[in-house]
Amino acid sequence: KAGVTQTPRYLIKTRGQQVTLSCSPISGHRSVSWYQQTPGQGLQFLFEYFSETQRNKGNFPGRFSGRQFSNSRSEMNVSTLELGDSALYLCASSLGGWREENIQYFGAGTRLSVL
């Protein structure tokens, strides 16, 4: 079956703009998690959505937000972009949530460059 799909794969924005990234999970998966990866900080957890509700949140400012739709697809939004937001944004889906014995499957990511 199809894996986790993230769109777009690459994005270039300027400071102050906002951006929306999309993630389509594996069919049947209800949990979607988002991560930010930068060379300096590595992979950091942003938030997790389960059945349209944000269940967990990492330590990121309020400029980072997300939502999940009834079909489990998820979007992540970053407002007022800063240069430091340049990163690879990864989405992962799983059947339940990371608390249970659940394997997370990752998408290929969206590479965001802020100029």
Partner 1 sequence: DAKTTQPTSMDCAEGRAANLPCNHSTISGNEYVYWYRQIHSQGPQYIIHGLKNNETNEMASLIITEDRKSSTLILPHATLRDTAVYYCIVPYSGGGADGLTFGKGTHLIIQP
Q: Using the minimum distance from each CB to partner 1, give the nearer residue, 9 or 15.
A: 9
Residue 95 touching partner 1 (CB under 8 A):
no
Residue 60 touching partner 1 (CB under 8 A):
no
How many whole angstroms separate alpha carbon 70 and alpha carbon 102? 21
Per CB under 8 A, the list member of 26, 32, 92, 114 interacting with partner 1 is 92
Residue 89 in contact with residue 21, Cβ under 8 Å? yes
Residue 9 touching partner 1 (CB under 8 A):
no
User: Whose CA is closest to 76, among 110, 106, 44, 103?
Assistant: 110
Residue 76 touching partner 1 (CB under 8 A):
no
Residue 22 in contact with residue 75, Cβ under 8 Å? yes
Window contacting partner 1 (CB under 8 A); options: 14-22, 54-62, 63-71, 73-81? 54-62
